[in-house]
Amino acid sequence: MRAYKDVFDASITDPAGFWADAAQAVTWTRAPRRILDDTNPPFYRWFPDAELNTSVNALDRHVAAGRGGQAALIYDSPVTSTKRVYTYAELLDETARCAGMLRSLGVNKGDRVVIYMPMIPEAVITMLACARLGAVHSVVFGGFAPHELAVRIDDVQPTVVVTASCGIEPARIVEYKPMLDDAVAMSEHPPAHCVVVQRDRHRCDMVEGRDVDWHHVMATASPAEAVPVAATDPLYVLYTSGTTGKPKGIVRDNGGHAVALLWSMRNIYDIEPGDVFWAASDVGWVVGHSYIVYAPLLYGATTVLYEGKPVGTPDPGAFWRVIAEYGVKVLFTAPTAIRVIRKEDPAAKHLAEHDISSLKYLFVAGERLDPDTYHWATDNLGVPVVDHWWQTETGWAIAANPMGVEQFPIKAGSPTKPMPGYDVQILHDDGYRCEPGEEGSICIALPLPPGTLPTLWNADARYEASYLSEHPGYYLTGDGGRFDSDGYLFVMGRTDDVINVAGHRLSTGAIEEVLAMHPSVAECAVIGVPDEIKGQAPRGLVVLKAGAEPQELTSELVALVREEIGAVAAFKMVDVVPALPKTRSGKILRKTLRGIAAGRDEPVPSTIEDASVLEALKTVLGQ
């Protein structure tokens, strides 16, 4: 086995050579001769002269190699009692016909398609079909409310939206179509067509002339051939929370994305073609893009699409049943899922009912892995529990324990070491590097490796301002942390106003904007507070207008956030306070409030306008 240090050092000292070697795993229609375009910093581009099609790399080439009969996608839906296995040949056929259907509705190379769907095969097929046409997909998580969906529609301006009549939860039906109708009505750039998958559990009304039935149009669709695109052309746009409340459209290119994900499957996750890989996430999040859809299929593995929950579908043994039934080698999920299972089944009695001997690793990411959850999973599963750290922006792991390169001793609380291409540095506010043990801002020296964001959608200036301006020459992750003396990275939490609720990044600024809409609220602040299950939860502090009464205020504000942002915000806590602590210039001391809510003894800043306000809030926040 290769030594990690040799692999990592090669990627830093000779990035072009390192990624040129990795690029040989891709099937190119025009192979790259130039590896890195560094002529326009800080906008670096990988494989600028190359050409490929991501759908061909995920499907066609495996069929052509004689592996069309291998399972590509396993769909398991306990909420509908449905199971289906798609071979590579079958998934290719569905994808080609879906691409033909989209083309018949006016979708061509470079056009955008918004996908607003539950965890059903049609979501995966649509993503791959867009890639086949050279179109750009933008998946919006099904839990987002009409306003949030409308913002994304207006930013990406899709030709078509693909949706389903509903999502199905263990105890309720979530009607997608009415939310889409409301979003389209709000939009300044509505799509020409909406394609709707009518689900048996709930069928929706259709808008004549705009809406088309998935099953009807797919029945007559002609398969579309793959369209070669430049490696630097966008594959998808995925929106993530920004501190201003306005979402940021993360751009992912085709070439660097394919190269990086192929490298990661073998070297980080220790996967071989034909292995079963299960990312228990959602296609609305980056994990679903990278490790439900693209990476397993690019590598020729079998991927699992699970429409269910860790508990309640039907019990805390749901994950173990899926692993046993399909021979899953790697499970990748968020720590929240393991915490929920542990809470419902602390003695792991349901685990004992299933043979999970196929499982070799549990990978977790998306939020902090607390030591108790790590030890419970390690003790009960008997396999390495590998914490790794990455972001929507990066698309794959910044830091991990690379199981296919060199397996390091695991340190609870650390995602281990930086991955190739990520020159991670801990910087003081003045830009100087921190010594081991010193906490600072986690930054990555430019250029970022392939697969990471080259920019934001139609927002180059915002990309620079958000990520590159704090420390010139570095990408600002927005997280604080430190290295220890062994070179292990420890990520301590966000340094901005983005919180992480069960692995979902949410902007406190966006929630504050909603709270401020209420006629009784004069001003407000939202902070993330520790939560036993979700890791963090949003907590609102509101100051009322003169004469306003607080009766029913909490329920009204909770309902307002649910309506404007969606249930995904998990907003339930509201405190009415007489005032908010501010600096003399009027800035709310959110960082100080976060520290107090987390149980830290925060000093009173010298810049505070009125220290008594902060002291009063310590009581409210539990100090």
77: domain CATH number is 3.40.50.12780
Domain boundary among 443, 461, 478: 443
pLDDT value at residue 547: 79
pLDDT value at residue 586: 56
Least confident among 24-28, 244-248, 354-358, 423-427: 244-248
Percent of the chain with pLDDT over 90: 72
pLDDT value at residue 158: 98
Asked whether residue 145 falls in the same domain as residue 35, the answer is: yes
Q: Percentage helix, strand, coil, to 5, in the chain?
A: 35, 25, 45
pLDDT value at residue 245: 60
Higher per-residue pLDDT: 4 or 619: 4
Q: What is the mean pLDDT of residues 587-605?
A: 74
* DSSP line for 133-176: HT-EEEE--TT--HHHHHHHHHHH--SEEEEESEEE-SS-EEEH
Asked whether residue 135 falls in the same domain as residue 272, the answer is: yes
Tokens read off for 512: 């504050």
Q: What is the pTM of this model?
A: 0.86
Sign of torsion over alpha carbons 28, 34, 40, 43: positive
394 has pLDDT over 60? yes
Residue 358 in domain:
no
Q: Which residues contact 465 (CB under 8 A, 6 or more apart)?
A: none
Are 1 and 405 in contact, with CB atoms under 8 Å apart? yes
Give the Cα separation of 585 and 566 in Å (integer).
Answer: 33
Q: By C-alpha distance, which of 544, 539, 545 is closest to 511?
A: 539
Considering 86-95, 232-241, 614-623, the range whose residues carry the highest mean pLDDT is: 86-95
Asked whether residue 151 falls in the same domain as residue 298, the answer is: yes
Give the Cα separation of 341 and 326 in Å (integer).
Answer: 20
268 has pLDDT over 70? yes
584 has pLDDT over 60? no
Tokens read off for 208: 């004549």
Asked whether residue 432 falls in the same domain as residue 514, the answer is: no
C-alpha angle with apex 125: 121 to 129, nearest 5 degrees?
170
Asked whether residue 428 falls in the same domain as residue 535, the answer is: no
Beta strand pairing call for 417-418 and 399-400:
antiparallel
Asked whether residue 208 falls in the same domain as residue 70, the answer is: yes
pLDDT value at residue 606: 55
Higher per-residue pLDDT: 168 or 366: 168
427 has pLDDT over 70? yes
82 has pLDDT over 60? yes
Residue 341 in domain:
no
Are 416 and 406 in contact, with CB atoms under 8 Å apart? no
Asked whether residue 425 falls in the same domain as residue 531, the answer is: no
The domain of 555 spans: 498-620
24 has pLDDT over 90? yes
Residue 455 in domain:
no
Q: Which helix (H) or strand (E) holds 507?
A: strand 504-507
Residue 569 sits in a domain whose CATH number is 3.30.300.30
Give the Cα separation of 1 and 406 in Å (integer).
Answer: 7
pLDDT tens per residue across span 464-476 = 999 999 999 999 9
Least confident among 127-141, 211-225, 456-470, 607-621: 607-621
Q: What is the largest CA-CA distance in the chain?
A: 74
Residue 338 in domain:
no
Residue 368 in domain:
no
Higher per-residue pLDDT: 604 or 175: 175
* DSSP line for 282-300: -TTSHHIIIIIIIHHHHHT
Asked whether residue 436 falls in the same domain as residue 506, the answer is: no
Average confidence score pLDDT of the chain? 92
Give the Cα separation of 515 and 520 in Å (integer).
Answer: 9
pLDDT tens per residue across span 326-336 = 999 999 999 88
Residue 343 in domain:
no
Give the Cα separation of 569 and 480 in Å (integer).
Answer: 23
The count of domains in the chain is: 2
pLDDT tens per residue across span 400-418 = 999 999 999 999 889 999 9
Q: What is the mean pLDDT of residues 132-145?
A: 92
Q: Which residues of 298-311 are buried (b: 16+ CB within 10 A; e: fewer)?
A: bbbbbbbbbbbbbb
Residue 352 in domain:
no
Give the Cα separation of 115 and 551 in Å (integer).
Answer: 40
Asked whether residue 139 falls in the same domain as residue 277, the answer is: yes
Tokens read off for 338: 């393991």
613 has pLDDT over 80? no
Residue 350 in domain:
no
Domain boundary among 411, 428, 443: 443
pLDDT value at residue 37: 98
Q: Which residues of 150-188 are buried (b: 16+ CB within 10 A; e: fewer)?
A: bbbbebbbbbbbbbbbbbbbeeeebebbebbbebbeebe
Q: By C-alpha distance, which of 272, 286, 327 is closest to 304?
A: 327
Q: How far apart are the first and last CA of the chain?
A: 51
Give the Cα separation of 489 and 373 in Å (integer).
Answer: 19
Asked whether residue 65 falls in the same domain as residue 171, the answer is: yes
Domain boundary among 398, 428, 443: 443
Asked whether residue 208 falls in the same domain as residue 280, the answer is: yes
pLDDT value at residue 348: 96
pLDDT value at residue 496: 67
Asked whether residue 435 falls in the same domain as residue 530, the answer is: no
Task: Kindly indicate the confidence band of residue 506, based on its pLDDT and cuts at 50, 70 and 90.
Answer: confident
